[in-house]
Amino acid sequence: MKKLICFLFAILAFTPVAFSQSREVKVLNANWKFQKGDFEEASKVNFNDSKWESVTVPHDWAIYGPFDKNVDIQKVAIVQNGETIATEKTGRTGALPHIGTAWYRNTFTLPKDSKDKKILLLFEGAMSEPQIYLNGKKVGEWAYGYSYFYFDVSQFAHEGANTLSVKLTNKEFASRWYPGTGLYRNVSVIIKNNESIDQWGQFITTPFISEEVAKVNIKTKASGENTRLVTTVFDSEGRQLSSEESTQQFGNEFDQNIKVANPKLWSPETPYLYKAVSQLYAGTELKDEITTRFGIREIKYEANKGFSLNGKITKFKGVCLHHDLGPLGVAVNKAALRRQMTILKDMGCNAIRSSHNMPSFEQLELADEMGFLFLAESFDEWAKPKVENGYHRFFEDYAEKDIVNLVQATRNHPSIVMWSSGNEVPDQWGEEGVKRAKWLQELFHREDPTRPVTVGMDQVKATIESGFGALLDIPGLNYRVHLYDEAYKKFPQGFILGSETASTVSSRGIYKFPVVQEKNKQYPDFQSSSYDLEACSWSNVPDEDFVLQDEKPWVIGEFVWTGFDYLGEPTPYDESWPSRSSYFGINDLAGLPKDRYYLYRSRWNTKESTLHILPHWNWEGREGETTPVFVYTSYSSAELFINGKSMGVKTKNKNTPQNRYRLMWMDVKYEPGTVKVVAYDDNGKAVAEEEVKTAGKPYQIVLEADRKTISANGEDISFVTVSVVDKNGILCPTATNQLKFKVSGAGTYRAACNGDATSLEMFHKDSMKLFSGKLVVLVKSTLTAGDIKLEVNGSGLKSGKLILNAKK
């Protein structure tokens, strides 16, 4: 009998408190000193760091380059890609100078009454192998660069100035993609009373939900004798709903149950968040307080039905995301994350897999707010290595600690609906791997019994034979579309998750001829065709996954590799130079949509229509040659016109996967002018049309901001798309003009990116070439409110100017 996996809990999203009467959280963003190199004396208080670089944290030192093929040149066979012979690889980890040791130093001040307080140092991400010193003494170390961790430094801290020093070491051959560097996420000092709520010590679920009422269960671990806990629940408008006071602990844990009447359920469509405030008292004195947002929701995983959310069968329309943010590197930035997720939302995406690393707190907060289901992943490697200096070095000593921190720090986010304990681990073979999979899954269950666990499996045959796949809560298949039916028959769970799908490769605005479906296709310019028919030897084009999602109700969804291009892994050009970032993204490294974006949108976005034509129509020298036209649309049929002449009506059909999801006119001959498509509804009525025109010579620079008003907090960013058009305002799709950027007023120039995987221009320089007629400029706020002026110039072009505004 196939087993039923049922997780019926709602989860609360933990939001760190900036200040309260009883605790203070100091986020150490400013006044850091940084220097690359190993300085043995840098841990000492009196060390002279006056000549070191001044930086802000989050910080990624390597993103400033330069790109250099010798940084990460390797001779290796990538086993998970099916390679058996070692070859020279370049750009595998981004060709950026991430290898080596560096130090960070800062000074923070503790108030006079802190002597009897509890002082914690919290690190949300330090790449990698951090060693932490406070006032000249080592307080601890960690190994995993993606892990969150904290230390109680009460015995090392003192009133007044305290000197914090952090040593980080990145070894070569330690990653399969660009891992980034530095203190790339927030560092905080937490000051609280000894009678206090434990760090990540609260776990909230809802074991009962109906239309009339939800039961909110709150388990809170706290320190201190004779304490009582008061928790109050508020709605999203701040109105108080209910409250409970508890004086008795079970062990060191309070257990409260609070009623929420007529609950509004959290979902991707309605991401409603409540708020809870938990206050710890000793007598009448308030000792500690934390604020929590929560979203009530119910999840189930059932054999032959799949995943349901709040009683509704829901397919995962998901993407995988690495943690770098393109031109910002891995330094976390909420504005950049929000932009990514806004783009994904418009595409109809409802789920994200953090691949293959632990997600940032900011990303999870946005997932809660914006409505994304989340697959939170832990490791890319267990005890058996993929790379020489990978996580296998730490697995035995750190795996449990890393999982505990991951789960305890994030389990209260309603967006998280499953955990992943690993991705394509070599431990899929053999009995030891089965035992490790079971042990890791049980760790997740111990820390959070409300969610299932998966592993992204690429060795499906091996996991069928060994029992590895059968023991998982959710069997995740990476590619292997030809094995879905066999896996479903032999695994007992009664459903399959496409934990990693497609890995189609393309370059934005680049089209190759003839138009045929290919594997491992390479071209002299190191680009891939945006006709979306090219994949790797081990992967496939999107349409093959679409068929499985549509025809197999037991396939519960997919996570496409990847939502955005990322630094490193430049497959299929990982033996070529220059090529330093991926081609897998639905959107490019600058966050600009590729054609494939509209293929997914036509299928996933069910609220708005999609009608998109490819390729562009500037093909000087190809007159009279066959130039196929594809249309990605949510409509079932359409008619194509070239300069007013009909090329016929095409209707989606099941002859091939491509015919089922695309409209394709394969015999079109190129002639300059206008390509127009007219879409028809099911009754044959024309309901929408779209045009692409041949552009003249580049004439003018056009600027379009994702947001014209940003916050004057020194961190917010406006992403400005820069395009070049002709005299008639038509985009010049082949333009490669060199542009220069100038920002003045209450903002600064931060970076630029054109999405070209072969570009060696540095992101932080104020000049860059267009790629396929576009690039993106990042304008960052300062701490001053006011207007920000962006001016973009290029030789022979009419300048582009834009006024942004920074507000307090």
pLDDT at 4: 45
Determine what percent of the chain is predicted with pLDDT higher than 90: 93
pLDDT at 146: 98
Distance in angstroms (rounded) separating the CA atoms of residues 724 and 722: 7
Asked if pLDDT for residue 700 goes beyond 90, the answer is yes
Alpha carbon 459 to chain centroid distance? 25
55-107: pLDDT as tens digits: 999 999 999 999 999 998 888 877 767 777 888 889 999 999 999 999 999 99
Mean pLDDT of 208-235: 96
Helix or strand or coil: residue 292? strand
Q: Is the pTM of this model over 0.85?
A: yes
Report the chain's terminal Cα–Cα distance, integer Å: 60
Determine which one of 124, 298, 362, 424 is catalytic: 424
The predicted model gives 329-346 an average pLDDT of: 98
**Which of 664, 631, 665, 662 is closest to 647 using CA atoms?**
665
pLDDT of residue 20: 46
- Tell me the average pLDDT across 769-791: 98
pLDDT single digits (tens) 407-431: 999 999 999 999 999 999 999 988 9
Query: What whole-number distance in Å separates Cα of residue 749 and Cα of residue 766?
Result: 8
Mean pLDDT rounded to a whole number for the chain: 95
**What pLDDT shows up at residue 21?**
60
At residue 356, the pLDDT reads 96
500 has catalytic annotation: yes
Residue 311: pLDDT over 50 = yes
Report the alpha-carbon distance of residue 677 to residue 688 in Å, rounded.
8
Range 120-143 average pLDDT:
98
Asked whether the predicted pLDDT for residue 5 surpasses 70, the reply is: no
Task: Summarize pLDDT for 339-394 with one digit per residue, the tens.
Answer: 999 999 999 999 999 999 999 999 999 999 999 999 999 999 999 999 999 999 99
Residue 323 has pLDDT above 90, yes or no: yes
Residue 539 has pLDDT above 90, yes or no: yes
CB 366 within 8 A of CB 337: yes
Closest CA to 298 of 10, 642, 545: 10
pLDDT at 693 over 80: yes
Mark whether 424 is an active-site residue.
yes
- pLDDT > 70: what percent of the chain? 97
Q: What is the pLDDT of residue 84?
A: 78
Residue 380's pLDDT is what?
97
Which listed residue (124, 365, 381, 500) is catalytic? 500
Q: Which of 90, 141, 224 is nearest to 578 (CA)?
A: 90
- Cα–Cα separations (whole angstroms), residue 568 to 168, 390, 505: 21, 16, 14
Over residues 637-648, the pLDDT tens digits come to 999 999 999 999
Cβ-count burial 242-258 (b if 16+ within 10 Å, e if not): eebebeebeeeebebeb
Q: Give mean pLDDT, residues 691-697.
A: 98
| The pLDDT value given to residue 75 | 81
Mean pLDDT for the stretch of residues 44-53: 97
In order of their start, the domains of the chain are 11-15+195-295 (2.60.40.10), 23-192 (2.60.120.260), 315-604 (3.20.20.80), 619-693 (2.60.40.10), 700-807 (2.60.40.10)
pLDDT higher than 50, residue 8? no
Q: Is the pLDDT of residue 2 over 70?
A: no
Burial (0-12, 13-18, 19+ Cβ within 10 Å), 41: exposed
Contacts of 84 (CB under 8 A, 6+ apart): 77
Q: What is the dihedral of CA 663, 669, 673, 678, to 10 degrees?
A: -20
d(CA 754, CA 772): 9
Question: Which of 161 and 1 is assigned the larger pLDDT?
Answer: 161
Is the model's pLDDT at 203 over the cut of 90?
yes
Q: What is the pLDDT of residue 611?
A: 98
